[in-house]
């Protein structure tokens, strides 16, 4: 039976920025990659309907590049934890993931909210599979994934997003972080995750 990996994020590009190389690697090994995006993020000068369609289109394009199965958006209005939690619970029951990737506890409110929802699901035993958080949180139990072969795929997927203002800075940040993480773990590029449960 094919393993399913669920990636639960706050915003539509988070899964590529934090775990794009890992997800691409797992997809290349035949695992089903399902990404759940909890919020469309802030408003912009564009009409909301146009922004929503653009974010969905960009995410589906990026997802196709990494070999993901699907991207599911949960919330079209304001970020409401209880609404998202109910939808997320249903997805987890349906997909029965073998592994989940998500945000670490963060100073960013939306990332913290997603982390808290996953922690609630763990506490209520609705999630029993291993859950790993993005970014190194100095937890003793870590997952190191060498992404040397899939780092170019991660960059290509990130280029599917059109927010030019931050794109260059984020690309450099991804390069430095993944290169440094790789160096620490005797690889050219790597992504590191901390076990949450």
Residues 30-87 have pLDDT tens digits of 999 999 999 876 655 557 778 888 889 999 999 999 999 999 998 755 566 677 888 8
Q: Report if pTM > 0.85.
A: yes
Alpha carbon distance, N-terminus to C-terminus of the chain: 24
pLDDT of 148 higher than 70: yes
Distance CA 88, CA 72 (A): 10
Spatial contact of 8 and 113, defined as CB atoms under 8 Å apart:
no
CA distance 73 to 35: 9
DSSP class of residue 129?
A: S
Pairwise CA distance, residues 105 & 103, whole Å = 6
User: How does DSSP classify residue 45?
Assistant: S
The yes-or-no verdict on residue 137 having pLDDT over 80 is: no
Backbone angles phi, psi at 7, to 5 degrees: -120, 115
pLDDT digits (tens, 9 = 90+) for 110-121: 899 899 999 999
Is 1.10.10.350 the CATH classification of the domain at 4-195? no
Q: Supply the mean pLDDT for the chain.
A: 88
pLDDT of residue 159: 92
H helices of 48-103, in order, are 48-66, 81-95
């Amino acid at each position: 039976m094919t393993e399913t990996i669920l990636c639960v994020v706050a915003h539509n590009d988070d899964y590529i920025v934090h775990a794009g190389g890992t997800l691409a690697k797992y997809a290349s090994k035949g695992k089903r990659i399902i990404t759940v995006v909890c919020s469309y993020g802030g408003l912009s000068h564009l009409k909301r309907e146009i922004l929503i369609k653009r974010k969905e289109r960009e995410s589906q394009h990026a997802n196709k590049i990494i070999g993901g199965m699907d991207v599911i958006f949960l919330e079209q209005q304001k970020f409401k934890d209880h609404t998202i939690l109910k939808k997320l619970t249903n997805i987890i029951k349906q997909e029965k993931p073998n592994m989940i990737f998500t945000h670490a506890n963060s100073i960013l409110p939306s990332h913290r909210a997603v982390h808290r929802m996953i922690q609630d699901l763990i506490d209520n035993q609705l999630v029993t599979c291993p859950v790993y958080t993005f970014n190194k949180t100095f937890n003793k139990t870590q997952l190191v994934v060498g992404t040397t072969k899939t780092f170019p795929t991660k960059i290509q997927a990130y280029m599917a997003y059109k927010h030019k203002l931050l794109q260059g800075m984020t690309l450099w940040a991804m390069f430095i972080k993944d290169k440094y993480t790789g160096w620490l773990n005797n690889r050219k590029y790597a992504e590191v995750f901390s076990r949450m449960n």
